[in-house]
Amino acid sequence: MTVITSTVVELLWLEFKDMKILWERNKEMMESAVTALGSLPNLN
């Protein structure tokens, strides 16, 4: 994965099982975040 940004960011590494728990606990927020990411232009 490559991240290009003009601001400081923190990237976190999550095990799949932990991501699944976070997703289930925050399903609506996670779905809206993924939807927002999907609407970004592809810079490749």
pLDDT of amino acid 1: 61
pLDDT of amino acid 29: 86
pLDDT of amino acid 41: 75
Is residue 34 in a domain? yes
pLDDT of amino acid 43: 61
By residue count, the chain amounts to: 44
- Higher pLDDT: 22 or 2? It is 22
Q: At 43, is the secondary structure helix, strand, or coil?
A: coil
pLDDT of amino acid 44: 59
Is residue 2 in a domain? no
Expressed as residue numbers, the domain containing 31 is: 13-38
Is residue 33 in a domain? yes
Q: Six-digit token pair at 26?
A: 């925050």
If one counts the domains in the chain, the total is 1
DSSP notation for 10-34 = ------HHHHHHHHHHTHHHHHHHH
pLDDT digits (tens, 9 = 90+) for 10-36: 888 889 999 899 889 998 888 887 777
